[in-house]
Structures are given as structure tokens and as C-alpha cells.
Amino acid sequence: MPKRVQMPKSVGATVARPRPAARKQAGSPVVLWAVIGAVVLILVAVILLQMQAMNRPVQTSGVISAGMGWGPEDAPVKIIEYSDFGCTYCRLFALTAGKLLRQEYEATGKVRFEYRSFIIEGASTREAANAAYCAADQGRFWDYAEVLFNRSGTGPVQTVFSRAALKDYGTQIGLDMGKFGRCVESGQFIPEVQNQHAEAARLGVQATPTFFINGSKVEGAVPYEEFKAMIEAVLRSAGS
């Protein structure tokens, strides 16, 4: 007697009940458009948040200081930072540990901190560095750097660090815009930025931020307490 073949249940269910499948297909365009609508709303929200962040005023100190450093030249601890204004970890350090270090050590005269450029994000962040050095020419490097790091990441780097945007940031902190605008447009400090980048490369810098604490290399956005511990160790060894 021939062996009876039993059909798989899944196949039988598909053949016997075509209607649910038809209803699912009919509803799929509605689901698709709902998903597309949700994605569009999210994108619009992100763009609006970025625009708000770009236009939000940044609190700056208004303090006039020479060059791109703080602390006395003859301090027992000298820290050199190689950084890029478009670098996420540089931003993290500048707006957290960097601020705390300055608050704690600038008045003591024990630490000299200097900012230098190592450009890893391309032409736009090179333009930002030039603009920051233009601000330094008016004694406002740190205020301008504060604005740049706050704006970094709020939109495409080509927009956030366009020359028009860079000049607008100068207006926000009250720079002499005739002098500042000419400096930005001419790329006055681009050679200095490039020289610092070459210097960093010779020292073996490969990422940002990279620090040299009395010549000892430290990489990454080191937390404040760790950075402070390294400074204190150098001070103890120097008898300060």
C-alpha cells in the first residue's frame, strides 16, 4: 500500500488561508509611510536642536591674556597640549578637566599650560585654529576657544567652522571685527598652525589630545583627578 505523504503545516496554512496575507500586504504601505514620517520628524528635531545649539550664547570670561597659554613661563610644571577644535575628546577635555586645571593652578604660579595645534579633522578645523590665533592677537584666545569647543559637534564641520561662522563668533565675544575679519580672511596664522602640526608629528604625536608634561607624553582626555595627580607628582619631584 502506498505511503501517505503528510503536507507541512506551514504550507497547508498558507494555501488554506490566503486572506490574512492579502490584508497584511494591503496594510504595509501605511506602515512604511508611518516609519518614513517618524524618521523625517526625528531629522527635523535634530536639525532644530543643532541650530539652537549653534545660536545659544556662550558664557566667556572676558579676561585679556597674552598668547595661547596661561601661567608663568618659569613655572616648575610646563604642559603643552596638541589639540584640534573639531576633536570630540579635545572638546571633552577643554570643557571639563582643562577648565578645572586652570581654576586650581593658574593663580599658584606652579603650572604653565600652552595650546598648540595638531590638525586631524581637515581644512575646516585648520581655519578654526587660525581664527583662534587671530583672537589671541587681541588677547582673547581662551574665550574664543571656549566658543569653538561649544559649537563643535553642533552641525557639519564645514558649516560650524566656515569663515562666516568664525567671524560671527568673534562678534559674539566683542572682538575688533575689522582687524579680526582681515585676519580670518587672509589666513594670517595658517603657517603657524602648520608649523605646530609638523612639530607635533616630529614628537610622535598621532592623536588628539596629546599632552607633554615636562616632556613626558600623555595621550587622551585624561580625567581631572588623574591629571592633577600627575602634576602633583612632578611638583613633589621638583620640591615645589
Among 145, 120, 135, 143, CA closest to 196: 120
pLDDT over 90 at 59, yes or no: no
Residues 39 and 97 in one domain: no
pLDDT over 70 at 61, yes or no: no
pLDDT confidence tier of residue 202, bands split at 50, 70 and 90? very high
Residues 188 and 227 in one domain: yes
Residues 188 and 165 in one domain: yes
pLDDT confidence tier of residue 238, bands split at 50, 70 and 90? confident
pLDDT confidence tier of residue 36, bands split at 50, 70 and 90? confident
Residues 88 and 204 in one domain: yes
In a domain, 62, yes or no: no
Range of the domain at 47: 10-55
In a domain, 2, yes or no: no
pLDDT score recorded for residue 120: 95
Q: CATH code at 83?
A: 3.40.30.10
What is the count of structural domains for the chain?
A: 2
Residues 78 and 45 in one domain: no
Average predicted confidence (pLDDT) for the chain: 84
The pLDDT tens digits for 88-142 are 999 999 999 999 999 999 999 999 999 999 999 999 999 999 999 999 999 999 9
